[in-house]
Structure formats: C-alpha cells, structure tokens
Amino acid sequence: MLEENIGYVFKEAGTLRLALTHRSYAAEHRGCGCNERLEFLGDSVVGMITAHYIYQRLPDCDEGVLAKLKAQLVSGPSLAQWGRDIGLGEYLILGQGEAAGGGKNRDSIVSDAMEAVIGAICIDGGYEAARTFVESRLAKVSLSPDETDFKSKLQEAVQKAKKTIPRYEITQTVGPEHDKTFKVSVFVGKEELGCGRGKSRKEAEQAAAKNALSKSA
C-alpha cells in the first residue's frame, strides 16, 4: 500500500488521489483535476526542507556548496528515485496514451508526482508531516560536498550533447537478499553508454556513470 511506503496515512484520501492524477488522465475525463497545483506546492516545500536540512548539518559549507548540493538533492532524477523507492509509479493515474507509452516509469512524470505527493502531505498533515517524509529520504543519501557525483556529470554532458537525459537500468542482481550486488547499465535511447556494479542501486548507478564518462574522455 502506498501510504505504508510513504509512512503517512492521509486523512483525506481524495488529496492523495489528486496528487497521483496526471494531466493526461484529467484531459480524458471532464471535470477531473490533476496534480499540477500540488506539484507546484511540493516543489517549494521540498526545496525549503532540503535547504534547512543541509544548512543545519553542514555548518562549515559556504553558500555555493550548499546551493550545488541542494540542486543535486532535489533534481528530477533524485526525486524520481525517491518515487521509485516507494513504488510510486504503480499508483499513478494516467491517460490511456501516456500509460501505454510507459509513463509510469518516466523520470519526469514520477518526479513531478513525487513533488505533488509531498505537496499533498503538506496540505493534509501540515508542514511537519511533509518535513518528516522529506528528511526520511534525505537521511538515506550522502551529504558530503566533496563526493564525486558521476551521475550529475554524465547528465550534464548528455543534456549538452543530445538534449536528453540518461536512463539507468538494473541488468543483473547477484547474491542473497541481505547481501545483493547490483549491475546497472546506463543508456541514451537504445545505446548503452556504460555499466557498473555496486552493493546498492545508487552505488551501481554511480559506477555506471563513471564508466560511461571514462569511455567518452
């Protein structure tokens, strides 16, 4: 159940449903709202909470470092990963064409819906409820400003050269549930740019991005 994965139970189920409703569905059903207003709210809420979180935890970092780290933490790919971590795509309400085109797995749709869900939590339960959820996500990532972020570097390079963003896919998992090793490949379209392994999906994605960058150097 999505609310279990989020860690928050909505008082108004309709608020959560609205957060999950893409404009493509609303366009097919007259009188049905979509999640764009909640997305607008969630974007501001997640930005504020993230800024406060890293400001408190990195007292020795200057404004430039904090700004770069905040942008990385609330980027589309990062929020799409938050969405995948809670299985958000499975619950999205899409129009027929968008659903048939794989919209439930599209980074832009999942990340926008993640912002909408955060906005919905804020509306339904207040700022503190939203803060609890966002900080639970932030607690799972490294806040080291010195960390080499190969995914961001690769995304910048791909966006500049091909006007799109890379896509990461788990191609193999090895080992027992408590000690898995992931193999991830990174693609642009059908072209594989690189691959890598790690003890978590995030680690393997960074390794794949590093491998792709080394090939293009």
Q: Is 43 a catalytic residue?
A: yes
Please answer whether residues 195 and 184 qualify as being in contact, where contact means their C-beta atoms are separated by less than 8 angstroms.
yes
Please answer whether residues 98 and 86 qualify as being in contact, where contact means their C-beta atoms are separated by less than 8 angstroms.
no
Report the distance separating Cα 158 and Cα 168, nearest Å: 13
Q: Which of 39, 43, 124, 205 is labelled catalytic?
A: 43
Q: Which of 112, 115, 124, 205 is labelled catalytic?
A: 115
Angle (CA) 130 136 137, round 5°: 95
Report the distance separating Cα 6 and Cα 66, nearest Å: 27
The DSSP letter of residue 164 is: S
User: How far lies 137's CA from each of 33, 35, 71, 161, 186, in Å?
Assistant: 28, 21, 15, 31, 23
Cα 119–chain centre separation: 15
Beta bridge partners of 151: none
Q: Is 115 a catalytic residue?
A: yes
Please answer whether residues 167 and 77 qualify as being in contact, where contact means their C-beta atoms are separated by less than 8 angstroms.
no
Q: What share of the chain is helix, strand, coil (3-state, %, to 5)?
A: 65, 10, 25
Catalytic residues: 43, 115
